[in-house]
Amino acid sequence: MSVQTTGGSLTKEQIDFYNEEGYVVLPHLLTEEDLRPAREAMEHKVDIIAGELFEAGLVADKLEQRPFRYRLAELFRDLTAADFLKYGRGWRDRFPGYFHLMSNPKILDAVESLIGGELFANPVYNTRPKIPKIAAGAVPWHQDKSYWPDANANPVITVWIPFVDANELNGCLHIKPRTQHKRLLKWHRETVSGTGYTALHNSQLGRTPTVALPVEAGSAILFNDRCLHMSTANLSDEVRWSVDLRYQPTNQDPMPQHGIGFLARSGKHPERTATLEDWLAHKPEHE
Ligand SMILES: O=C(O)CCC(=O)C(=O)O
């Protein structure tokens, strides 16, 4: 079996930027073709939801012909936030398309530049169907680490990828640069949207100016799990589709309390790298 590691794909400037600022933007990392399997997984889920809404008499039309970027928004246009949140604020389905995306060598090459070539795909990954004009669309200021405060894993790198162009109208990501060295701040559960997101009070955010990160579909934003970030509500009429994936070095806490992650890349033990079948079977491949 050949060694899979590549040494990474980021330039010295990109690595330096990440190390200083706590995040880096990789414009157009992925092509339409790279996104396709995960997009099909999202479409599959929308089909299921449309079927259920139709069966329940909540919609009169499954809107099968509507484009991906609008269909889910239009299905829920006359329904309530509670109807939408029944399906969760984010989705973590074990559909093959997500494994293909999480194993994409372009993503792994980029992450390898930052934390080396022994890469564990953390169990926490989300598809975010941010539909228009519901409170739950906005994600309050937080550190990802607040979701795994006791885990012995540092750094966990989030790879955030939009499937449509993300901008200030449809609720792109916002970040506070250089906050990656902060300790984990005391968070609370937000209560406004019914999502229970972890959240920080404005008084905890410090003086660091906020940077909005509008990026085109297929771009990636990589950030450290202590970086303060948030996203605004979707004020457009389309769905702001995105995924957030996470990676960490293999010698760290695999966080089984959050699910089963997988060995995405290894130079030392390439034969242990998870296959789609392993992942679908929830086989722990990090041992
Ligand atoms: O996708 C969003 O709107 C927010 C993402 C986020 O907060 C995260 O990935 O931790």
Distance 143 CA to ligand 1 centre (A): 10
Per-residue pLDDT in tens (0 to 9) along the chain, 287 residues: 444 678 899 999 999 999 999 999 999 999 999 999 999 999 999 999 999 999 999 999 999 999 999 999 999 999 998 999 999 989 999 999 999 999 999 999 999 999 999 999 999 999 999 999 787 789 999 999 999 988 887 789 999 999 999 999 999 999 999 999 888 989 998 877 777 889 999 999 999 999 999 999 999 999 999 999 999 999 999 999 999 999 999 999 999 999 999 999 999 999 999 999 999 999 886 54
Q: Whose CA is nearest to atom 2 of ligand 1?
A: 231
Where do we find the tokens 């916002």? Answer: 174
Domain ranges of the chain: 12-280
242 Cβ inside 6 Å of ligand 1: yes
Tell me what pLDDT residue 209 has: 95
Instruction: Report the alpha-carbon distance of residue 59 to residue 95 in Å, rounded.
Output: 26
What count of residues does the chain have? 287
Tell me what pLDDT residue 155 has: 87
Distance 82 CA to ligand 1 centre (A): 20
Q: Which residues contact 168 (CB under 8 A, 6 or more apart)?
A: 212, 214, 232
- Ligand 1, pocket-test mutation among 92, 231, 235, most atoms within 8 A of CB: 231
Where do we find the tokens 């293999």? Answer: 250
Position in ligand 1 atom list of the atom nearest CA 171: 3
Q: Which residues contact 167 (CB under 8 A, 6 or more apart)?
A: 214
CATH class as words, domain 12-280: mainly beta
Tell me what pLDDT residue 284 has: 80
In eight-state DSSP terms, residue 91 is B
229 Cβ inside 6 Å of ligand 1: yes
What does pTM read for this prediction? 0.96
Please name which of 197, 180, 179 lies closest in space to residue 188, comparing C-alpha atoms.
197
